[in-house]
Amino acid sequence: MLGEIQRYKITYILIILNVVVYVYTSFLSLNPMDMNLEVLVDMGALYGPYVLEQGQWWRLLSAMFLHAGATHLFMNMFSLYLVGRGAEIYFDGKAYISIYILAGFIGAFSSLYMHPQSVGVGASGAIFGVFGALAGFFVAHREGMASHSKAFMKDFAIIIGINLVIGFSIPSVDVSAHFGGLMAGFIGGFILAKNPKSLSLYIGLMLAVMLVFYFYLSA
């Protein structure tokens, strides 16, 4: 077990961070199963009026570590466990973290664009970004990785099923964030598969996309 944790330490660190934040949020909500909406907003949930009208852009980051309830947390962390270990095999630590955070940001911007008045929480955008990165990697190397692709498609089916359940059962989960994160991750995975030294190119591209979102939403 210790060897597994050391090998996939970034994934386990991310899981631990999400769980710690959830425990603290549940303490404030006085309910370990379902979080109080006001507490989520106070803790940094993505809420359009606060972000767009009051300039609280830090919520794009904080919302990634908040979850609406125990089911939401468990399903997201299980998904992260599945895809995160694969990401640590095919990408280095800097690339993995960059994809996770940037995809989470793009997912949050997508959510603001589609639902500017809604409250949104969850790591789904970032997790879908990691998943998308693996998809991009396998597409770039599709000719030589048939066996790995089969295993990936199995995980794909599980994660899609999980997120369909999340999307239809938890109102504060926004599917548009999933799509935004997925696309951001796919682009990163494809670019890095072609040239692992192109991380700065990917970061620059995602920053440009975020600037477009920022100026559009702030107009």
Query: Is 178 designated active site?
Result: yes
Helix (H) or strand (E) holding 119: strand 119-120
Whole-angstrom CA distances from 31 to 1, 26, 153, 204 are: 31, 5, 36, 41
Paired tokens of 129 = 């970004």
N- to C-terminal Cα distance for the chain? 51
Of 79, 124, 172, 176, the catalytic one is 124
Query: Is 198 designated active site?
Result: no
Helices (H), ranges, 32-174: 37-43, 48, 54, 59-62, 70-90, 93-114, 124-140, 146-169
β pairing state of 119-120 and 46-47? antiparallel
**Are 160 and 211 within 8 A, CB to CB?**
no
Of 29, 110, 176, 178, the catalytic one is 178
Q: How many CB atoms lie within 10 A of CB 55?
A: 9
Q: List the catalytic residues.
A: 124, 178
